[in-house]
Amino acid sequence: MAFKEIIGQDAAIRTLLAAKRKGKIAPVYLFYGPDGVGKFLAAKNFAKLLNCTNHSVEKDCCDVCNHCKQIENENYPDVFFIKDDDTIKIEQVRDMKWQLALKPVSSSFKVIIIKNASFLSHQAQSALLKTLEDMQFNAVCVLVTSNISTMLPTIISRAELIRFFQIKSEDIKNFLQDKLSFTDNQAEAMSHIFDGSIRASKTTDIESYMDSRERVFDFIINKNDISRRKKDFFDFKNLNDMLNIMITWYRDVLLYKAGISKNFFINYDRIVDIEKCGVNIEAETLVNHLGFLLNSKIMLEENVSPKLIYNSLFIETNQS
């Protein structure tokens, strides 16, 4: 994947291309913005751009030369990745410093990409700061984070900040239609559900998610057959999905009650049902439901028994 395939981040990409074109590469970059909008992909493609053997400086990386292919596969000798989903420790930063001190094996730039920079421990960030102070001219460090507030101010001040934005629903809709062959109605609905994350649109099992969504909505809307509803409810396999879908529903109904434009609804394709539900439920009840659902997610993350959460959730959502 080259820069041209990253959706909705034109300003960030223009900045990076201009830096390469003008020969003004900063030693440290901090890519920040919401999850799932292309920050890590942009970092990887920036590494390609710096080391591509086959591109015009006016354009994108070629994405086909050996250097680009190796970087894409994360086995290029001069580009290093730290991608931990947990605390990044000081030892990893010290190893990075050692790698940066070596001359490039076969390229113009050595590049370190830290995917989840917000996971750097305080000690690791302090060690990173010292590393950044001693960087060689042909070394680049790219920090990627969705939470810039976790970074030390001294690191932020040394980095060139590249901001990434939530992707517009229209851009996601076009992607779903052009790349994944969605129908217009499917793309319209899912573009709102994915809420600005292109990664979600690529990794979600759409058919399974849509089936789950319909089952949850049916449970919320159709309250007549209590025994069937109870069976369907407790047969639902993915509690986290159920909680997330319910949160989007009650959020939309609350927005409707508050007179907020329908353009801000997540479940854009269920406006009629949202309006009907909004007429028959009080705003205070909606707020209580949302609070309960959010607390249930916290309980699930803390390994509280799913059965206990299911039971409590069934009782809570049958009170309206």
Give residue-wise pLDDT tens across range 214-236. Answer: 888 888 887 666 666 666 666 66
Main-chain phi, psi angles of 241, to 5 degrees: -60, -45
d(CA 320, CA 309): 18
Main-chain phi, psi angles of 17, to 5 degrees: -65, -40
- Kindly list the distances between the CA atom of residue 104 and the CA atoms of 45, 49, 95, 186, in Å, as whole numbers in the listed order: 18, 15, 16, 48
Residues of the chain with CATH 3.40.50.300: 3-163
Main-chain phi, psi angles of 92, to 5 degrees: -70, -35
Cα radius of gyration rounded to whole Å, the chain? 24
Counting beta carbons within 10 angstroms of the beta carbon of residue 56, is it exposed (0 to 12), middle (13 to 18) or buried (19 or more)?
exposed
Q: What is the pTM of this model?
A: 0.68
pLDDT at 11: 93
pLDDT at 211: 79
Q: Which helix (H) or strand (E) holds 292?
A: helix 283-301
Task: Pick the range with the lowest mean pLDDT from 98-102, 169-173, 177-181, 263-267.
Answer: 177-181
Which fold, 3-163?
Rossmann fold (3.40.50)
Residues of the chain with CATH 1.20.272: 205-317
- Kindly list the distances between the CA atom of residue 124 and the CA atoms of 131, 168, 308, in Å, as whole numbers in the listed order: 10, 35, 39
Which fold, 205-317?
Zinc Finger, Delta Prime; domain 3 (1.20.272)
pLDDT at 61: 85
Give residue-wise pLDDT tens across range 240-299. Answer: 888 888 998 998 999 898 888 887 788 878 889 999 999 889 989 999 999 999 898 888
pLDDT-based confidence at residue 199 (cuts at 50, 70, 90): low
Does the structure show a pLDDT above 80 at 180? no
Do the Cβ atoms of 274 and 217 come closer than 8 Å? no
